[in-house]
Each structure stands twice: as C-alpha cells, then as structure tokens.
C-alpha cells in the first residue's frame, strides 16, 4: 500500500494525434496520395511527392523528395518507410515502430551525415550503411570519416562502426575494422568532443610518435583503454587501464539535450513508458541558452587544467582501477624521464555533495613503479609504493551569470620501504565566459611537501603553480592559449597554443607546447557529444 505522504505516480501526458493531408484514393486495403503528401505529428513534419499506406501491414511508404523536420534537425531522402503506423489510433504501434530512409542526408546544428540507408527502430536501435561524416553540407573532400556500417546498441545508444576510415584530402589516413564509442548525452557535463583513436605528435623526448587509443571491455565488465605508441627515439610505450565499478555508477542527474541520438536511445529503453519513448521523436524542445557560468574554456589543450572540477554525480560510488604503464615519457619543468607502473591498482570512493557537485573523494592504491633518467647516465630507480589520499571539493560557487569558482583541498600520503612522503595542496580556479566561444579559465595550485621520495616525479608534482587559459573563436577557427607559472621562481615554465578548425561534424586540432617542444594533431567529432 502506498504511504499517505508519498506523491502519486505521474502519468505521462498523452501523445498528440497526427494529421494527414487529403488522400487521393481509399480502399479497404490501401490509402494513396498521388501528388503532394504531408504528415504532421506534434513538431515532426514530413512531406513527399507521393505516398501509400497498407492497412494490413500498418506501413506507410513515402516517395519522391522525402523531407522530415523536427526542430533544428532535418532528414532528406529518396524514400521513407514507416512501420507500426496505426491510422485508426492516429499514432504508432505500442508493439514497435521503425523509420527507414534510403539515400538519406541528415542535417542538424552539429551534424551532417550522408548514407545509403538510415533506419531507426524501437526494437533494434539505429543503423546506417555506407555512411559518410563530412565537415558540412557541401564538402570538398578535405576531411571525412566513412564507415561501411554504423549501428547503435539498444538501451544505451552506444555506437559501433564497421570499417571506419578517416581520409584527409582524399588520402586514407587509417581504417579501423571495428570502433565502439559512447556519445555524451548529458548537457550538464563539460562539453567534450569524441576524439578519434589516432595519436600523432612529435616531442623532444620521443621524436615522432604514432599510435592508437582503443577502448576495450574485457570479461568481468571492467571497461578500459589501451594505448600503444611507436616512437623514433624511445621505442615502444604502452598504457593500459581498466575500471570496475564496485558500488553504484558515476551517472549524473539526467538533463538531456534532445537530438537524434537521445531519441534513439530513449526509443529502445524498454523500462520507459510508451509515451516517454516516442516523445523525443515528435516534440522539439526550444533551444536552451548556454549558461556561461558553467562553461570551461581551452579544453582543447594537452596541458591539464590546474583544477578540473569533479563531474556531477547522483549517488556514492566505489571503483577499482588498474593501470599498467611502460616507458611513458614524463616531462616536468626541465626534467625528462621515462616512467613505468608495473602495474598499479587504485581503489576510489566518492560521496557527492549537494546537487551532485563536489563532495568527498578518497583513494587507496599502490604497486611497483620505475623511473628512467634520460641524461645519458642510464640511471633508473625502482620501488614499491603505497598511496592514499583524501580530498574535499567545495560546491561550485556561481559568482555571476558569466562566472563560477571552484576549490579543492587534498592530502596525499605515500609510503615506501624506507621513506614517507606527503603532499598537502589547495587548488582554486575560476572561469569567466564572454560568449559561448570566448572566455578565460585560471587558477592556482598551492602545494607543500614533507618527507622524502625515491622518485623525482613525486618531487616535480609537488611544486606550486599558477595557470591562465583562454580561448576564442574567429569564424570556423578556434584559438586556445595557455601559460603556466612556477610560483617559487616566478617564471613561466610552460606555454601552449591550439588551433582547431570547426566543421559541423569533424574538427581537426593542431597544438604546440613549449614544454618538451611537443606538436600534436587530433581529429575530434563534436557531433557525437550530444551538445
């Protein structure tokens, strides 16, 4: 029996009926529209040269310059088949429905796709064949991502590419037989682009570096990432991580920006009601003005921000993460090392604060580690270590409609066989947005170390610094800058500039960083983030 103080369950509002243009002919088996056909269902508008509806199969076939529009998204194609369409109820069937386009082109504020076929089914998700992602509606072949097939995983919306190929100026750069990605749907998270798993950079330590970054999901449900790089100066290096959620999932409170991908995911989530699954396909929400106080800037840079706030999280979590690292370059303030973790396991627990922000974060882990000096001496140090930390992040402070502030306090304790090393730190940062594309992010990290560590990389990570990051957009070009200051010597020790050319679907970025004289090149897919 439901408690008296428990609110009654809310029933979703009924879906609106659809409206059709006048048909040309009518029979017990079929309806026909021989000239112009129009179909309006909520905010979804469909038109074509002609159409027919088979009563027994509940199937509508629209032919001749088919166009479907919902809000800011538009799909055009040669023809369209809609299954599960119940003319009597003026709605789609609760048993399942599907939309099937041929020779389709999808246009939206963040996406241009062309495909031989494009289908969306409430049972099997989305699928496209002979797919082509391009920078805009009139591509010149300068940059493209193609795939033989793209399909989404029912319920989650996770996307799987088959034979995904990147071409630059018509030349094939790389082909991946299989590629799985998870689009970002939550508008409350930081806006990030999906980065294609291609690594190319040059650096003073490693020379020319070419590699791949691939996600994997091993047996046991512990997904991870595997990175392998071939360098001209230091041979091969490898980094592998795997993470297992032991308590809860680090999901943030849901606040979705509706688009094609969120609609597909909702349609295949069987735990939702019929109305909740269909509504994203027929109701276009008005665009939400960006909240500049929640924006962060210069995220395209390779140098980490002085403070990256914890993502929003709805409930406590506990996770175990394992990392294996071999001969990865470690460059800090003039010191050049190769670091290895052989491997390292870390247990991380978090209790989020009010509204899912900040809160307490604790870690406990350790394992054998090694550092190799690159000064020609061949010196290396290896030792087992045990690391524990406790941190508290304050809730984000909104200073104005354009700015916010963050604060984090952390204590790190490290123990070795004969040494003890601890770091106390306070991190403060703020962000200010002039426009959605132009703003500043900056802050300080005040650190104090005690004890002695056998590793130089511990000492380098314990130095205090200040940092200023900024970005602006000039037409299709995004420019990001960064400067880092050593608070002890009061000197700049690191600078970086990043240039990104923003297409609708693909965004290549070129970065130069003074520390290690590093040049990097990445290709991002902002269209697969959900923003």
pLDDT tens digits, 220-264:
778 888 899 999 999 999 999 999 989 877 665 444 455 565 667
Contacts of 22 (CB under 8 A, 6+ apart): none
Least confident range of 287-291, 492-496, 503-507:
503-507
> CA-based angle 479:481:483, to the nearest 5?
180
Distance from C-alpha of 265 to C-alpha of 268, rounded to nearest angstrom: 6
Distance from C-alpha of 226 to C-alpha of 212, rounded to nearest angstrom: 8
What is the residue-wise DSSP string for 334-358?
A: TEEEEEEEEEEEEEEEEE--GGG-S
What is the residue-wise DSSP string for 241-282?
A: EEEEEEES--PPPP-B--SHHHHHHHHT-TTS-HHHHHHHHH
Least confident range of 7-16, 141-150, 321-330, 331-340:
7-16
For residue 29, is pLDDT > 80?
A: yes
Round the average pLDDT of the chain to a whole number and report it: 83
Structural tokens at position 317? 């979590």
Distance from C-alpha of 46 to C-alpha of 66, rounded to nearest angstrom: 7
Residue 398 parent element (H or E)? strand 397-400
What is the average pLDDT across 393-417?
A: 94
Distance from C-alpha of 498 to C-alpha of 480, rounded to nearest angstrom: 5
Structural tokens at position 116? 């031989």
512 burial type by CB count under 10 A (0-12 exposed, 13-18 middle, 19+ buried): middle
- What is the percent of the chain where pLDDT is above 90? 39
Query: What is the per-residue pLDDT across 198-221, written as a single tens digit (0 to 9) for each?
Result: 788 999 999 999 988 877 766 677
Number of H helices, E strands in the chain: 3, 34
Q: Which conformational region is residue 316 in: left (phi greater than 0), alpha (psi within -120 to 50 degrees), or beta?
A: beta
Looking at the DSSP bridge assignments, the partners of residue 224 are 216, 242
301 burial type by CB count under 10 A (0-12 exposed, 13-18 middle, 19+ buried): buried
- What is the percent of the chain where pLDDT is above 70? 85
CB atoms within 10 A of CB 515: 18
By C-alpha distance, which of 356, 366, 367 is closest to 317? Answer: 356
Q: What pLDDT sits at residue 190?
A: 41
3 state SS of 201: strand
Residue 129 parent element (H or E)? strand 125-133
CA 384 to chain centre: 35
What is the average pLDDT across 373-398?
A: 90
What is the residue-wise DSSP string for 447-473?
A: EEEEE--S-HHHHHTT--EEEEEEEEE
Q: In terms of pLDDT, which residue wins out, 495 or 258? A: 495
For residue 186, is pLDDT > 50?
A: no
Q: How far apart are the first and last CA of the chain?
A: 42
For residue 451, is pLDDT > 90?
A: yes
Residue 413 banded pLDDT, cuts 50, 70, 90: very high
What is the average pLDDT across 310-333?
A: 90
Distance from C-alpha of 531 to C-alpha of 529, rounded to nearest angstrom: 6
The DSSP letter of residue 299 is T
The DSSP letter of residue 293 is G
Distance from C-alpha of 309 to C-alpha of 358, rounded to nearest angstrom: 7
Structural tokens at position 473? 């957009």
Distance from C-alpha of 257 to C-alpha of 200, rounded to nearest angstrom: 33
CA 447 to chain centre: 31
Q: What pLDDT sits at residue 193?
A: 52
Distance from C-alpha of 195 to C-alpha of 180, rounded to nearest angstrom: 12
Distance from C-alpha of 72 to C-alpha of 47, rounded to nearest angstrom: 16
Distance from C-alpha of 297 to C-alpha of 317, rounded to nearest angstrom: 28
By C-alpha distance, which of 35, 79, 87 is closest to 58? Answer: 87
């Amino acid at each position: 029996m439901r408690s008296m103080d428990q609110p009654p369950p809310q029933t979703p509002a009924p879906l609106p009926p659809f409206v059709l243009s006048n048909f040309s002919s009518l029979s017990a088996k079929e309806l026909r529209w021989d000239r112009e056909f129009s179909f309006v269902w909520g905010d979804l508008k469909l038109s074509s040269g002609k159409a027919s509806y088979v009563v027994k199969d509940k199937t509508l076939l629209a032919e001749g310059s088919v166009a479907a529009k919902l809000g800011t998204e538009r799909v055009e194609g040669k023809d369209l088949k809609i299954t599960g369409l119940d003319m009597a109820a003026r709605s789609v069937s609760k048993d399942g429905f599907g939309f099937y386009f041929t020779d389709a082109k999808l246009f939206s504020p963040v996406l241009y796709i062309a495909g031989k076929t494009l289908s969306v089914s409430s049972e099997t998700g989305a699928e496209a064949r002979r797919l082509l992602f391009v920078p805009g509606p009139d591509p010149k072949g300068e940059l493209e991502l193609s795939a033989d097939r793209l399909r989404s995983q029912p319920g989650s919306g996770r996307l799987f590419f088959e034979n995904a190929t990147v071409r630059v100026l018509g030349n094939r750069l790389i082909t991946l037989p299989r590629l799985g990605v998870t689009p970002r749907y939550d508008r409350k998270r930081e806006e990030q682009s999906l980065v294609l798993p291609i690594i190319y950079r040059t650096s003073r330590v490693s020379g020319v570096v070419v590699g791949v970054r691939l996600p994997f999901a091993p047996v046991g449900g512990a997904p991870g990432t595997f990175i392998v790089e071939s360098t001209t100066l230091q041979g091969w290096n490898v980094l592998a991580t795997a993470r297992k959620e032991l308590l809860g999932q680090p999901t943030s409170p849901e606040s979705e920006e509706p688009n094609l991908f969120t609609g597909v995911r909702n349609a295949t989530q069987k735990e939702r009601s019929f109305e909740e699954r269909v509504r994203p396909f027929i109701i276009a929400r008005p665009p939400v003005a960006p909240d500049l106080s929640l924006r962060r800037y210069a995220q395209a840079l390779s140098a980490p921000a002085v403070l990256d706030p914890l993502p929003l999280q709805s409930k406590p979590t506990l996770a175990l993460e394992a990392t294996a690292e071999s001969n990865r370059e470690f460059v800090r303030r003039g010191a050049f090392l190769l670091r290895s973790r052989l491997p390292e396991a870390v247990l991380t627990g978090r209790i989020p604060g009010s509204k899912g922000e900040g809160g307490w974060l604790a870690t406990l882990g350790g394992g054998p580690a090694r550092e190799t000096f690159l000064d020609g001496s061949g010196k290396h140090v290896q030792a087992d270590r045990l690391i524990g930390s406790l941190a508290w992040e304050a809730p984000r402070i909104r200073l104005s409609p354009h700015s916010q502030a963050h604060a984090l306090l952390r204590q790190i304790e490290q123990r070795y066989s004969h040494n003890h090393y601890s770091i106390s730190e306070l991190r403060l940062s703020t962000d200010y947005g002039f426009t959605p594309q132009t703003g500043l992010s900056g802050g300080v990290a005040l650190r104090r170390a005690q004890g002695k560590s056998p590793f130089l990389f511990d000492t380098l990570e314990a130095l205090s610094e200040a940092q200023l990051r900024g970005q602006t957009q000039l037409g299709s070009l995004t420019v990001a800058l960064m400067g880092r200051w050593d608070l002890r010597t009061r000197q700049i020790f690191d600078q970086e500039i990043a240039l990104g050319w923003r297409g609708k679907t693909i965004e290549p970025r070129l970065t130069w960083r003074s520390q290690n004289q590093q040049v990097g090149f990445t290709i991002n897919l902002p269209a697969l983030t959900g923003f």
